[in-house]
Amino acid sequence: MFRFILKRLGLAVLVAFTVSAISFALLFLAGDPATAIAGENAASEDIAIINAQYGFDRPLIVQYLDWLSKAVTGDLGQSWYFKLPVSQIIGDRLPTTMTLGLCAISFALILSIPMGVAAAARPNSIIDRFALFIAVVGQAIPSFWFGLLLVVFFSIQLGLVPASGSGTWRHFILPTVVLGYYATPAIMRLTRAGMIEVLSADYIRTARAKGLPTRKIMFKHALRNAIIPVVSLAAVQMGFMLGGSIVVESVFALHGAGFLAWESISRNDLPTMQALILIFSMFYITFTFLADVLNAWLDPRLRVG
């Protein structure tokens, strides 16, 4: 197990370095950063001053190593638009996105796993068809449209929950449902497919022949093996929720890191975009690493190779 963790950790570090290089390159792929700061009509003297001030006139490898060494210590540069340290801006916005992501993935797992197990237990039944219907609807409805429907019905007409903001836990109810429901179909269908495959295995037939209760067979023996690919998918979905919450945060006016990404793109704030890409990628890599370790703990066969 220890060797497996070291191998996965080494791979995660390698991917992290690659992502950091790509994030740094975005600053220059978007155009001349000095011109972006000074403006299109700036004089060449002003651009030269900015190049010297920000160090853009140094070799790229030197700039990258300097940026990486500062990023490791938490110094992500200065925002071109907000005129504040990027780490401070993201630190203020990230808790909102983290709260939304954790609530959404919890909602998706609580909803999708029992539905997948129930659908697999009775294939082609009404329960199975209802679960597949929920999955198809979740894949077909755009997140922004679903969010607006919930706002109109639950906030405007019924007045049960707030339509926007992030002041209390009630403000996160509708965004959690929208973001979590988007991840529900994939998790539910994977759970259903895994359970159907596991329930046809020989050891499940043996457990039934021994007279074990159906609930014990389903949740102790079958679900333990069927849940392995679901863990990996949940980690991927969690990373996606943190990085892809721009639409949901915009609809519900949640000023989190996702909404900050939209602001930085629209205002050409490249250092903030650069830092957000790096941070979201690190979250994605971390969740994937933890999912691999958890899967190896659940199934020792994965540790080989």
Digit-coded pLDDT (tens) for 49-75? 777 777 777 777 888 888 888 888 888
Lowest mean pLDDT among 2-6, 96-100, 101-105, 107-111: 2-6
How many beta carbons lie within 10 A of that of residue 293, not counting itself?
A: 18
Whether the CB-CB separation of 279 and 90 falls below 8 Å is answered with: yes
Per the domain annotation, does 297 fall within a domain? no
The residues, ordered by sequence, that sit 6+ positions from 96 with a Cβ below 8 Å of its Cβ are: 166, 249, 254, 255, 256, 257
Range of the domain at 105: 96-267
Per the domain annotation, does 15 fall within a domain? no
* pLDDT above 90 coverage of the chain, percent: 2
Count how many domains the chain has.
1
pLDDT in tens, 219-232: 777 777 787 788 77
Whether the CB-CB separation of 54 and 220 falls below 8 Å is answered with: no
This prediction's pTM: 0.79
The residues, ordered by sequence, that sit 6+ positions from 252 with a Cβ below 8 Å of its Cβ are: 147, 151, 163, 164, 165, 171, 174, 175, 178
How large is the greatest C-alpha to C-alpha distance in the chain, in angstroms?
85
CATH number at residue 211: 1.10.3720.10
3-state helix, strand and coil shares in percent for the chain, rounded to the nearest 5: 80, 0, 20
Per the domain annotation, does 40 fall within a domain? no
How many beta carbons lie within 10 A of that of residue 33, not counting itself?
A: 17
The residues, ordered by sequence, that sit 6+ positions from 95 with a Cβ below 8 Å of its Cβ are: 256
As a whole number, the mean pLDDT across the chain is: 82
pLDDT in tens, 35-47: 766 666 667 777 7
| pLDDT band, very low/low/confident/very high, at 244 (cuts 50, 70, 90) | low
Per the domain annotation, does 208 fall within a domain? yes
Per the domain annotation, does 64 fall within a domain? no
Is the pLDDT at 171 greater than 60? The verdict is yes
What's the rounded Cα separation, in Å, for the pair 78 and 71? 12
For residue 232, what pLDDT is reported? 78
Is the pLDDT at 300 greater than 70? The verdict is no
Is the pLDDT at 188 greater than 70? The verdict is yes
Is the pLDDT at 157 greater than 60? The verdict is yes
Whether the CB-CB separation of 257 and 96 falls below 8 Å is answered with: yes
Per the domain annotation, does 9 fall within a domain? no
